[in-house]
Amino acid sequence: MIVNASDIPCTDKQNKNKTDVHDSRSIAFHLERGNLHGIYILDREHQELRSLFRFREAKVKDLTKTTNRLKSFLFYYGIKFGLIFEGREYISSKVLNWLSKLKLASEAGEITLKRYMDDLVYHRRQLLLTTKELRKVIQERYHTAYKCLLSVPGIGAITATALLAEIGDFNRFDNPREFCSYIGLIPWENSSGDRMHTNGIQPRCNKHLRPLLVEASWTAIRKEPILLKYYRRHAIKNNKHAIIKVARKLALTAKAVVQKSQRYQSDYYSANERTNAIV
């Protein structure tokens, strides 16, 4: 059994007198009484699939850093390619071709610019190759689930791939709240007696999925009128909280279409609101 260390009950006295002997006795004590619950462990094949997805995430960060370094270099020397390419700040192939012919004041400057450009091209190729390979593996292993997820408004290829790579078996969650807690789309409380205090969304979660689902929610409210209506109803109080609520609906929708192996239907939210299946 693999247990999250923070889930092992521990007294204040044990925290102030921590030794390996005390820890082992505490674990044995709670294990004997059934107080410990193991976390879900993906099989080896799926862990390797998840590693491929997380490698792609790392390449996205590398590409962002490389792009910012090149832009910073150009900005430092007053080179504004946006003025030439109609205000576009994206470093496209045309911009790279223009930069390759740019003459600087010295050979050292031109070498530096070339190295920045080579680094950018390398990371772009790596990201493109990794994305194609990841999508191929996902489509081969989760063909039906992948197609069902793409049918949900707001969910694109990257978000669908992330859900399948990070979660795997959607049936491992006992209830919708447990699923939303795993993604980090529910609030966490610090309440005592009559004092009720919420501290925002759950910090203990899978941090790879939540940003993608929130981003997908902004697209979803433009495509699905019912979600837009739901967002506007809650955005009166706080628009940031409202988009999290939309993301929670979107996550539960994704879970439902995968479990049922059915593509998204236009009346999905209407039917579920009548039956209170999604809250």
- 149 lies in some domain: no
Indicate whether 243 and 170 sit together in one domain.
Answer: yes
pLDDT, tens digit (0-9, with 9 covering 90-100), for 221-273: 999 999 999 999 988 888 888 999 999 999 999 999 999 999 998 776 666 55
Residue 271 is predicted with a pLDDT of 60
Shared domain check, 49 and 77: yes
Phi and psi torsions of 136, nearest 5°: -65, -45
Q: What pLDDT is stored for residue 275 in this prediction?
A: 47
Q: With 90 as the cut, is the pLDDT of residue 141 above it? A: yes
β partners of residue 82? none
Task: Tell me the helix, strand and coil percentages in the chain, rounded to 5.
Answer: 65, 5, 30
Q: Are residues 35 and 48 in the same domain?
A: no
pLDDT exceeds 90 at position 179 = yes
In a domain, 150, yes or no: no
**For residue range 190-211, what is the model confidence (pLDDT) as tens digits?**
777 777 777 778 788 889 999 9
Number of domains in the chain: 3
Residues 51 and 32 in one domain: no
For residue 22, count CB atoms less than 10 angstroms from its CB and return exposed for 0-12, middle for 13-18, buried for 19 or more: middle
In a domain, 120, yes or no: yes
In a domain, 58, yes or no: yes
Same domain, 114 and 15: no
Determine, yes or no, domain membership for 128.
Answer: yes
Question: Are 31 and 52 part of one and the same domain?
Answer: no
What span, in angstroms and rounded, lies between the C-alpha atoms of 88 and 242?
A: 32
Q: How far apart are the first and last CA of the chain?
A: 33
DSSP letters spanning 83-128: GTTTT--S--HHHHHHHHT---SSHHHHHHHHHHHHHHHHHHHHHH
Q: Which residues pair with 192 in a beta bridge?
A: 195
13-22: long-range contacts (C-beta < 8 A, 24 or more apart)?
none
Distance CA 112, CA 116 (A): 6
125 and 163 share a domain?
A: no
Q: Nearest 5 degrees, angle CA 244-CA 248-CA 249? A: 120
What's the mean pLDDT in 23-41? 88
CB 154 within 8 A of CB 224: yes
Same-domain pairing of 13 and 27:
yes
Same domain for 236 and 137, yes or no, is no
**Host domain of residue 10:** 1-39
Residue 230 located in a structural domain: yes
Look at residue 121 and tell me if it is in a domain.
Answer: yes
Instruction: Round the CA-based radius of gyration of the chain to a whole number and report it.
Output: 24
**Is 64 in the same domain as 172?**
no
Please list the residues that pair with 189 across neighbouring strands.
198
User: For residue 163, what are the contacts with CB-CB under 8 A and spacing of at least 6?
Assistant: 149, 155, 209, 254, 258
Dist CA 69 CA 132 (whole Å): 26
Domain check: are 2 and 58 in the same one?
no
Reported confidence tier of residue 217, pLDDT bands at 50, 70, 90: very high
Same domain, 14 and 104: no
61-105: pLDDT as tens digits: 999 999 999 999 999 998 888 767 766 778 888 889 999 999 999
Q: Is residue 249 assigned to a domain? A: yes
